Amino acid sequence: MEIVLVSLFNGLVYGMLLFMLASGLTLIFSMMGVLNFAHASIYMIGAYLAFTISQIVGFFPALIIAPLLCALIGAAIEVWGLRRVHHNGHIAELLFTFGLVFIIQRSVQMIWGMLPMAYRVPPSLDFPLFTIYGANFPAYRGFMLLISVGMLVATWLLLKKTRIGLVIQAALTHPQMASALGHNVPRVFTIVFAGGCLLAGLAGVIGGNYQTTEPGMAESMGPIVFVVVVFGGLGSLAGCFVASILMGLIQTFAVVINYSMLHLLKPLGISVTGDNLFTEILTVPVARIGALLPFAMMIIILLFRPRGLMGTRDT
């Protein structure tokens, strides 16, 4: 029982982190049709920047400055890079963001080095919030939840209650129509791209000390975020939210399950002996398959329901 509750909390926290990352990507993807491969790289930049800034002025200013810097970087990428390749076609845009991944990856390694950074939870938040069945639930995780929910509410308010939000919503599902109605869609694109990068950067700030801040973090988070975006569906932030939480829970729970396919077959009287590939497949515990699950799910969803859970357009 403890495992379920603890995993539930952790899964929720991880899911909200995923949502912050995935929501920015969904906005960018839905509106501009470009899958920003470098999104997780911006997440990484956010974490590294937060580390450096918090060394100079402390964690809480970093919480504000780092995401803003990421937004600026995003705007620069959009205006000077993405916009130029737009007329070369869809694949060119994908290739461009793909190339960015290399550059950002190596630049981060160059500037900060190859070793993980000692980006720790700020002392003011480093205490157990409450204990369940003897396991501590750190206050920092509660803080993470707070920030992510706050961001979610702020984004929701921006989209639903402001004029620019209205335009963004329209362009989200019908970009050509919004443009035909006279809105400055290129400028909206820049704002959305920068906004998406701001969210990614913020995720990096709070995620960087939850996970380790090291040069490989973009590679480990990146694919999962894509899975979430695809799963949640284009044009729907609600779908993105559901998919993020689902993925967070699945990944957290999968790690603690030690059953394998063999356990399913046992009641049928099937057992295997011997040490070959076949037995290996049957006896792999779900915990190890956990890493496979998101990708298998993504493939299945793309095959049978490319629109995702709640999408309004096909991927």
Partner 1 sequence: MTASRFRQGSIWIVVLALAIAAPWAFYNYHAGRQSGFVVSMLTQMGMMSILALSYNMLLGQAGLFSLCHAVFFGIGGYATIHFLTMAGAGSLRLPMELIPLLSGLSGLGLAIVFGYMATKQRATAFAMITLGIGELMVTSALMFQHFFGGEGGVNTNRMIGRSLFGLTYAQGIQVYYLTLAWTLLAALAMFFLTMTPLGRMANASRDNFERVQFVGYDPRMVRFFQFALSGFFAGIGGGLYAITYEIVTFDALAAPLSANALLMAYIGGSASFGGPILGAVLITLLQSGVSLMSNSWLVYVGVLFISMVIFAPSGIMGLVMAHGPIVRAGQLGRLAVPYIRVLVPGLLMVLGFVGLVELTSFLTIGAAQGKSLVLFGNKIDIHATLPWLFATVFLLGGGLWLRLEAQSFRRVWECLMADLKPQRRLS
Please tell me whether residue 261 binds partner 1 under the rule CB under 8 A.
Answer: no
The answer to whether 265 touches 282, Cβ cutoff 8 Å, is yes
Q: How far is the CB of 94 from partner 1 (least distance, A)?
A: 6
Q: Which of 4, 64, 103, 146 binds partner 1 (CB under 8 A)?
A: 103
Residue 117: strand pairing partners: 213
Per-residue burial over 133-159, b = 16 or more CB atoms within 10 Å of its CB, e = otherwise: eeeebbbbbebbbebbeebbeebeeeb
Please tell me whether residue 217 binds partner 1 under the rule CB under 8 A.
Answer: no
Amino acid at 36: N
Residue 37 contacts by C-beta under 8 Å, 6 or more apart in sequence? 94, 97, 98, 100, 101, 222
Q: How far is the CB of 123 from partner 1 (least distance, A)?
A: 27
Nearest residue to 43 via CA among 27, 14, 67: 67
**Binding range to partner 1, per CB under 8 A, among 197-205, 255-263, 265-273, 291-299:** 291-299
E strands of 22-141, at which residues? 128-132, 135-138
Q: Closer to partner 1 by CB, 61 or 223: give it.
A: 223
Please tell me whether residue 296 binds partner 1 under the rule CB under 8 A.
Answer: yes
Q: Closer to partner 1 by CB, 48 or 143: give it.
A: 48
Distance between CA atoms of residues 25 and 28, nearest Å:
5
Q: How far is the CB of 241 from partner 1 (least distance, A)?
A: 20
Q: Which of 72, 76, 95, 309 binds partner 1 (CB under 8 A)?
A: 95
Residue 176 contacts by C-beta under 8 Å, 6 or more apart in sequence? none
Please tell me whether residue 160 binds partner 1 under the rule CB under 8 A.
Answer: no
Q: Which of 68, 75, 79, 112 binds partner 1 (CB under 8 A)?
A: 112
- Binding interface with partner 1 (CB under 8 A): 33, 35, 81, 84-85, 88, 90-92, 94-96, 98-103, 105-107, 109-115, 219, 223, 226-227, 230, 275-277, 280-281, 284, 288-289, 291-292, 295-296, 298-299, 302-303, 306, 314-315
